[in-house]
């Protein structure tokens, strides 16, 4: 069987563990908001430009009140931006109404996120998930031949944890059974143990995007061979991980593998787009995509994270809102190679649910 491996190579584009941790804590709070929300993302220094954009939109009085509160906050942040990173590149403000009063929450990040204005039933946090790899569901398995620890992470929170262990004699003692029988019995015991661990991983990994396998020695590769095809497809090896690895280092490894996972997902999405071109189930012109969105014909909207450099960025923001309303999938991409391709096509591509004329 071919082992599904990925090499953990740190990338300058990756977010630092400390910023990732703080963003996850913020997003955990934001996700508790279950009411109509205005979500705003803008580059630091572009607040005035965004205020003019908000002034162009016409909403009902309650939404206008939220927008007014956001406009005031943008003005305040102009001189004193908040950030969980070393430098502020993007400011994100979320506004909603509670008990008749406008409520605001904000965060700044050192990473570049796309311009966004989104009115939706809940806070719009997709750019964080797509570009900063936050709030993902990951199962981390650390094991040797006689013990295993299984941890389920959502963002930086361990939401479920289990430990399994067996008594395993290390060496054959003189007398009694032969060396060969001892080794066979020992290997059978390890095999049964791995099966129990695999069953536990199966129950804990529902809705998980990744299963990360680590531990000192050959246990992780032996355990991989016990996994069924569905679990094996999600699994990646993590190097230099043991039961004593600090949480900070665990976060580093999770982040790196999430970035690899995201890159693979985006590549597969673009490949799918290319395959569907001949079937006329794609669109690349902004005007065509806009009409397809209004018809509810867009399955996936692929958007450059740099789309605000495009002159038609206001139209693209409208596309995003329609896509959210019509339950189209939205994929933000930051790969320079793919962004270059997107920029040739107005910064947006679409995979369609059905062909349109």
Q: 217-245, pLDDT tens digit by residue?
A: 899 999 999 999 999 999 999 999 999 99
Start-to-end CA span in the chain (Å)? 47
With contact defined as beta carbons under 8 Å apart, do 165 and 200 qualify? no
Torsion of CA 145, 148, 134, 31, to 10 degrees: 160
Q: Tens digits of per-residue pLDDT, 109-137?
A: 999 999 999 999 999 999 999 999 888 89
Calpha distance 96→309 (Å, rounded): 28
* Selection from 111, 115, 112 nearest residue 93 by Cα: 115
Structure tokens at 207: 């809705």
Chain centroid to Cα 38, Å, comes to: 21
Weakest mean pLDDT among 23-27, 142-146, 174-178 = 174-178
- The pTM of the full predicted model, rounded to 2 decimals, is 0.85
Question: Side by side, which strands form the sheet with 210-214?
Answer: 157-165, 147-154, 137-143, 210-214, 235-237
With contact defined as beta carbons under 8 Å apart, do 161 and 152 qualify? yes
Polymer length in residues for the chain? 357
Q: Tens digits of per-residue pLDDT, 285-337?
A: 999 999 999 999 999 999 999 998 777 788 899 999 999 999 999 999 998 88
With contact defined as beta carbons under 8 Å apart, do 213 and 205 qualify? no
DSSP, res 46: -
């Amino acid at each position: 069987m071919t082992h599904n491996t990925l090499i953990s190579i740190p990338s300058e584009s990756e977010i630092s563990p400390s910023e990732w941790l703080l963003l996850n804590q913020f997003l955990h709070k934001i996700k508790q908001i279950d009411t109509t929300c205005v979500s705003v993302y803008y580059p630091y220094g572009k607040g005035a430009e965004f205020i003019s954009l908000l002034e162009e939109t016409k909403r009902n009085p309650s939404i206008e009140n939220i927008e007014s509160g956001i406009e005031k906050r943008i003005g305040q942040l102009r001189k004193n931006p908040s950030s969980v990173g070393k430098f502020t590149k993007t400011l994100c403000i979320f506004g909603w109404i509670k008990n008749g009063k406008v409520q605001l929450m904000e965060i700044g990040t050192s990473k570049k996120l796309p311009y966004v204005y989104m009115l939706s039933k809940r806070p719009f946090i997709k750019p964080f998930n797509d570009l900063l790899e936050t709030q993902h569901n990951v199962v981390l398995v650390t094991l040797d031949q006689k013990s295993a620890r299984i941890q389920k992470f959502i963002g930086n929170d361990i939401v479920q944890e289990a430990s399994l262990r067996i008594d395993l004699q290390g060496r054959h003692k003189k007398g009694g059974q032969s060396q060969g029988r001892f080794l066979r019995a020992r290997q059978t015991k390890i095999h049964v143990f791995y099966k129990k661990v695999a069953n536990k991983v199966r129950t804990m990994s529902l809705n998980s995007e990744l299963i990360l396998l680590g531990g000192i020695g050959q246990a992780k590769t032996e355990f991989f061979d016990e996994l069924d095809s569905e679990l094996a497809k999600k699994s990646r090896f993590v190097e230099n991980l043991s039961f004593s690895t600090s949480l900070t280092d665990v976060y580093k490894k999770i982040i790196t593998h999430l970035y690899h996972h995201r890159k693979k997902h985006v590549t597969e999405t673009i490949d799918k787009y290319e395959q569907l071109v001949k079937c006329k189930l794609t669109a690349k012109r902004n005007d065509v995509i806009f009409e397809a969105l209004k018809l509810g014909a867009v399955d996936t909207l692929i958007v450059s994270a740099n789309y605000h450099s495009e002159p038609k960025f206001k139209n693209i923001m409208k596309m995003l809102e329609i896509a959210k309303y019509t339950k189209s999938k939205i994929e933000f991409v930051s790969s320079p190679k793919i962004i270059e391709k997107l920029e040739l096509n107005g910064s947006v591509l679409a995979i369609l649910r059905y062909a349109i004329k």
